[in-house]
Structure 1
Amino acid sequence: MTDTILYERTGHIARLVLKNPEQHNALGQEQLLAIQAHLETVRQDSQLRVLIITGWGDKTFCAGASLQQLGSGELTGDAFQETTDQIAALEIPTICAINGNVYGGGVELALSCDFRIGIVGSKLRVPAAAIGLCYPASGINRFVERLGLGAAKRMLLAAEAMSAETMHDLGFLDHLVQPAGLDEAAEKLAREIAALAPLAIKAMKHILQQAAAGNIDQDQARARADQCLQSEDLQEGFTAQREKRSPRFKGQ
């Protein structure tokens, strides 16, 4: 497996790192396959509660799909979309710690995560229209779902270059921090989420995703809510409140 994609887990928190700074952490076929393999590890790990995705270096989080491989036909947009779809479909919450500038498909990669933390001084641009590419339909849908039609038009139709402050104002960034505080902010958010009840988190993330798509399956939603009502975690939550202590959830 390539050494340009790193993965590690510590306790209930895992970290996936794009490590190809010479290419601005662009993703070719090799990198996408490695990410997909690590995502399968995430899906199979019942003890994992949060995934952090970030980039290596202090300049670029991700420049999206490798333009060289796209041009040669070695890489297709479908392979990139499959990867972002898999990230978005994870049951556990995901945090994107955007360590620098973010371009092209890197923007969608970040949008595939549940939370995004960016740094002061970073920039964003999706240059598809500037080079003659039509962004894939599923990717466009993700922009609209996450940001709304107006912001999606600014990014895709106008190929607007945006500052970190604009990213935050548009809701692309949930949190904006100084570069030196990025890792700490991501870890803090991850620890806070990991301390919550896993069954409730997974149930609500599933329902929220359906709500964003405009189609909540009421039977599924009711079943997931009932599972939480009958869980040991709920009893632990009530007990912890009575005893004025932090709960110790097991995801059961």
Structure 2
Amino acid sequence: MSAIGYELNGQVGTLTIKSPPANALSSNLLNALSEKLDEIEQESLAKVIILKGDGRFFSAGADIKEFTSLQEASDYQALAEYGQKLFERIEQFSIPVIAAIHGAALGGGMELALACHIRIATENAKLGLPELTLGIIPGFAGTQRLPQHVGTAKAYEMILTGEPISATDAYHFGLVNQLTSEEELDEVALTLATKIAAKSRPAINRVMQLLPYAKTAQFATGVQKEAEAFGEIFGSEDAKEGIQAFLEKRKPNFRDQ
């Protein structure tokens, strides 16, 4: 069974992350997502995509256990670059992608949501980049995309503390477009997607081409620097301790090394 499900309802496609219990973003899941994007482009039937998570969460982060199997800084940097490239593809996609967030969008899951064009969240959802609590840093362009949505000062606070914010706070900061109840999330996302799908495909595609120009030229440089730093930090003793503590469900004992 694929880690990513796909259904087409009229001109609205729905991608569903299916990797219980936390919908962690493993390499296999990211590959499956890339393949589904290929299919959607080739079919050219959907005019809007809804991206959601099955079960309790949208996505609670990257697959930390998979990280522990990597050895060299270059392996970690390559993983970051792969995720960055995939999420950049989503942001540059010719079809709008709406993230329908429930439960939690944390770490890599938050970075995936940031790459989507519109975000709808349930009122009780949590959003954040908790990597520093594990002694590591965001690696899928979170350090570059989050400031665009919440401002630099709030991005510093969120990333440096590692503490998630509520969907209500995310809405006030402009990170989330709409709030909804858990029960109405699918309906609200479908209503918005249907409004967009009613527009002309050529016009939609042109808008999707134009809005990314609003990103600064520094973005590509920042993303590359993030990937390099992601690789470097994973070699630190604190990163090893932080990840081990996470897996053992205990508080890490950082030694600043």
TM-score between both structures, scaled by the size of structure 1 = 0.78
Aligned position for 1:62: 59
For 1:67 and 1:81, locate their aligned partners in 2 and report how far apart those are by CA, in whole Å. 17
Q: Which of residues 32, 39, 42 in structure 2 aligns to 1:41?
A: 39
2:179 matched to 1:176? yes
Contact kept in structure 2, 1:56 and 1:99, CA below 8 Å: no
Residues 151-200 of structure 1 deviation map (CA, whole Å, 9 limit, x = unaligned): 32122122122112111111111000011000000000010000012212
Residues 201 and 214 (structure 1), Cα distance of their counterparts in 2 relative to 1, 3 Å cut: farther
For 1:96 and 1:25, locate their aligned partners in 2 and report how far apart those are by CA, in whole Å. 14
For 1:18 and 1:120, locate their aligned partners in 2 and report how far apart those are by CA, in whole Å. 20
Contact kept in structure 1, 2:15 and 2:51, CA below 8 Å: yes
Aligned position for 2:191: 188
For 2:149 and 2:168, locate their aligned partners in 1 and report how far apart those are by CA, in whole Å. 18
Structure 1 spans left out of the alignment, 5+ residues: 216-252
Contact kept in structure 1, 2:11 and 2:45, CA below 8 Å: yes
Q: Which of residues 115, 136, 149 in structure 2 aligns to 1:112?
A: 115
For 2:140 and 2:101, locate their aligned partners in 1 and report how far apart those are by CA, in whole Å. 24
Contact kept in structure 2, 1:14 and 1:52, CA below 8 Å: yes
Contact kept in structure 1, 2:53 and 2:59, CA below 8 Å: yes
For 1:188 and 1:203, locate their aligned partners in 2 and report how far apart those are by CA, in whole Å. 22
For 1:39 and 1:135, locate their aligned partners in 2 and report how far apart those are by CA, in whole Å. 24
For 1:120 and 1:137, locate their aligned partners in 2 and report how far apart those are by CA, in whole Å. 25
Residues 66 and 126 (structure 1), Cα distance of their counterparts in 2 relative to 1, 3 Å cut: same
For 2:135 and 2:86, locate their aligned partners in 1 and report how far apart those are by CA, in whole Å. 23
Structure with more relative contact order (C-alpha pairs < 8 Å, separation 6 or more): 2
Contact kept in structure 1, 2:119 and 2:177, CA below 8 Å: yes
Residues 7 and 180 (structure 1), Cα distance of their counterparts in 2 relative to 1, 3 Å cut: same
Aligned position for 2:223: none
Aligned position for 2:106: 103
- Paired positions, count: 212
Amino acid at match of 2:134: I
Higher mean alpha-carbon deviation, 140-149 vs 160-169, is at 140-149
For 2:167 and 2:140, locate their aligned partners in 1 and report how far apart those are by CA, in whole Å. 26
Secondary structure of the 1:16 match is strand
Residues 138 and 195 (structure 1), Cα distance of their counterparts in 2 relative to 1, 3 Å cut: same
Structure 2 spans left out of the alignment, 5+ residues: 219-257
1:214 CA drift (Å):
5.9
TM-score between both structures, scaled by the size of structure 2 = 0.77
Amino acid at match of 1:201: I
Residues 206 and 168 (structure 1), Cα distance of their counterparts in 2 relative to 1, 3 Å cut: same
Amino acid at match of 1:64: G
1:83 CA drift (Å):
2.2
Amino acid at match of 2:153: G
Contact kept in structure 1, 2:129 and 2:142, CA below 8 Å: no
For 2:65 and 2:10, locate their aligned partners in 1 and report how far apart those are by CA, in whole Å. 38
RMSD: 1.9
